Amino acid sequence: MRLPLFPLDLVLFPGAVLPLHIFEPRYRAMLADCLASDERFGILPPGEDGPPPPTGVIGTIAIIRATQPLPDGRSHIVVEGEGRFMLRRYLDEGTPYLTGLVEPFDDEAEDEEEVTRDVPELRSLADRCATALRSLIDSPAPPPWAADAGSLSFQIASQLDLDGAFKRRFLGIRSARERAALLVQLLPGIARDLEARAAVRRRAGSNGKGGSHPSIVIQS
């Protein structure tokens, strides 16, 4: 499929919601074209020296869910991640922004019993993190956890402040079982850290926000 491309130094996971500020003229044009068609564009990481990204890179289709035009031509938008894609080649269509030919990048087929094995533990760990985080920064309760391991793994990863390189690697994993198992390894440490911070706040009887979301940096 043809897809307008928006290189960004961030990762949008399938199912995640992301606010964006559109201010560059080329992306204003992209937004106008997207709103006039199917309201979709691709978010993918920039190349090492800036765009364009290399072919073969993995990105996520973003569907526009809300727009707020500003008087000076800028816009605030909210997008939601759909499926992943692989960039096959660029298309020369005379647009000021990049467009590419992409193909779906889906999970590989796996044994259902193996895929769902870690789901209960994964939900339990995610609940611990969410509960502690609400005590620290008064964050809202997360939406109900997804039923399947594939969607659940992306839903949890989107709410963690993980290293960008790790997020890009995580996005490229085509095994839901592998993603779930990786989070089961990571989340106990993150949960303990959040719970310890929350306990300190309770003991201090603070009325403040309890600090920012802890930064969990994981090397790829």
My answer on whether 173 and 95 are in the same domain is no
My answer on whether 95 and 69 are in the same domain is yes
- What pLDDT, on the 0 to 100 scale, is given for residue 139? 67
Q: Is residue 122 part of a domain?
A: yes
Domain containing 158 equals 112-204
- What pLDDT, on the 0 to 100 scale, is given for residue 218? 39
Q: Smallest Cα–Cα separation from 216: which of 147, 148, 170, 152? A: 170
My answer on whether 125 and 98 are in the same domain is no
- What pLDDT, on the 0 to 100 scale, is given for residue 204? 79
Tens of pLDDT, residues 60-75: 999 999 999 999 999 9
- If you search the block for the tokens 């996005």, which residue do you land on? 171
Report field, pTM of the whole predicted structure over 0.85: yes
Taking 50 as the pLDDT cut, the residues of the chain under it are: 208-220
Q: Is residue 218 part of a domain?
A: no
DSSP line for 29-53: HHHHHHHTTTSEEEEEPPPBTBSSP
What is the distance between the alpha carbons of residues 220 and 202, in angstroms, rounded to a whole number? 34
Cis peptide preceding 52, ω within 30 of 0: yes
